[in-house]
Amino acid sequence: MKPLLYGLSLVILMLSHGALAAENQMEAGAAIAWSAEGRVFRTTPDQIEFQGALEGIMYIESSSGALDEAFVECSFKQVVKDGSETTHGSGNCMIIQSADDSAFAEFDCNGVIGACRGEFRLTAGTGRLKGIKGSSPLIMRSPLRHMLDGISNGSVIGVDSGIALLLDLKYTLGGK
């Protein structure tokens, strides 16, 4: 989740450099290197649920070629179906540029354990990011597949390395 927040921080940085104008659509690509920690619970005989937090750094490249980074923190829930190994994940993120400038986002994805595709949505902001809206297709990857075998109910697990890709982030900033 932190990687997603980093992306928002990049947007804030771009604003501070005059790259964004109100209601003008901007484009960027981002990669979020993240880590996560949480607990695993068996919620039905054939379903495991991970509840935790993601954090990391988002590296963003704007359409003008500018490269920057930001910090991201997200709450995260992922449900894994035994047998089919299908998964659904969702989360909410805060991207913090400064004490006054933050962006908020939500995401969801579906796939198999370790590989989830979906959508990342910028929903709101404060300070220079007030009125930010936008979205990108999302790809999330992690080594979770290798961590769930034989794990007991309520166990705490940590994922040291994962990646989230926002390859086509389009956003606007409105109503300062």
Q: CATH 3.90.1200: does it fit domain 2-19+28-148+158-171? A: no
pLDDT at 54: 93
pLDDT at 10: 43
The size of the chain, in residues, is 176
Residue 24 pLDDT > 90: no
pLDDT at 19: 45
Contact, 148 vs 138, CB < 8 A?
A: no
Residue boundaries of the structural domains of the chain = 2-19+28-148+158-171
Q: pLDDT digit string (tens) for 82-100? A: 878 899 999 999 988 778 8
Structure tokens that stand for 68 in this block: 């920057």
Structure tokens that stand for 61 in this block: 């490249």
Give the gyration radius of the chain's Cα atoms: 16
> Scanning the structure block, which residue is given the tokens 């981002």?
30
Q: pLDDT digit string (tens) for 97-138? A: 778 878 899 999 999 988 999 999 999 998 888 999 999 999
Average pLDDT over residues 28-50: 91
Whole-number Å distance between alpha carbons of 46 and 112: 15
Confidence band of 168 (pLDDT split at 50, 70, 90): very high
